[in-house]
A = this chain, B = another copy of it.
Amino acid sequence: MHPEQLLGSRRVYEGHVVSLRVDDVELPSGHRQAREIVEHRGAVAVVPLIEDDVLLVRQFRRAAGRALLEIPAGSMEAGEEPEACLQRELAEEIGMRAGQVTYMVSFYPSPGFLTEVVHVYVAHKLSPHRLDGEEEDLEVVRLPVVRARALVGQEIVDAKSIIGLLLAQTAEGTS
């Protein structure tokens, strides 16, 4: 199950959020193929719960061309541990700190070409904790979890939010 041989690799772009390389591989058939690989250093996403409610953020997403309603999330900084990243994102995006954090799952958003892994958590025992930091243009939305789940496929249409809300349902029995 490792049917490719790497013949060479060419770096195309080194960016802040993503980098891009093209790997030249040889398949068992002898055919050569170029594989475009988008490199990303990974992210953390978190389902912040207050009783039966979840705190979501609405923000404009240029890649989607519209505003999406999502669970809080963000890229890990160099050397940052997932739980430290989680607390930083909670503070920056919804002005909260979590007293209890439970790991749920890690997933590849698009494993055909993207190295990004997203680590998904549930957060409980939230308390106000506003970080002075970069301005983020987003709106915090508090909704019953059952209502948020009903928005999957409507305004909630990103992988981490769908996976987080569906698994929190199972793990926490909040439905």
The answer to whether A64 has its CB under 8 Å from any CB of chain B is yes
The residues of B that contact A78 with a CB separation of less than 8 Å are none
The residues of B that contact A73 with a CB separation of less than 8 Å are 112
Residue total for A at the interface (Cβ-Cβ under 8 A)? 63
CB distance from A150 to the nearest CB of B (A): 12
The residues of B that contact A68 with a CB separation of less than 8 Å are 108, 111
Contact (A109, B109) CB under 8 Å given A13-B13, A67-B1: yes
Interface string of A12-36 (1 = CB under 8 A from B): 1101111010110101110100111
Cα distance, A105 to B155, chains bound together (Å): 12
21-79 of chain A: CB within 8 A of chain B: 22-23, 25, 27-29, 31, 34-38, 40, 43, 58-64, 67-68, 70, 73, 75
| Contacts A63-B112, A63-B115, A166-B166 known; 9 new A-B pairs at CB < 8 A | A13-B13, A16-B34, A18-B113, A20-B38, A38-B114, A105-B152, A107-B159, A108-B157, A109-B114
In the assembled complex, 30 residue pairs joining A and B whose CB atoms fall closer than 8 Å, in A order, are: A1-B58, A1-B59, A1-B139, A4-B137, A12-B13, A12-B20, A15-B22, A15-B36, A17-B113, A23-B62, A28-B137, A35-B62, A38-B38, A43-B112, A61-B108, A63-B108, A64-B111, A64-B115, A68-B111, A105-B152, A105-B157, A106-B157, A107-B157, A107-B158, A108-B159, A109-B109, A110-B110, A110-B118, A159-B163, A163-B163
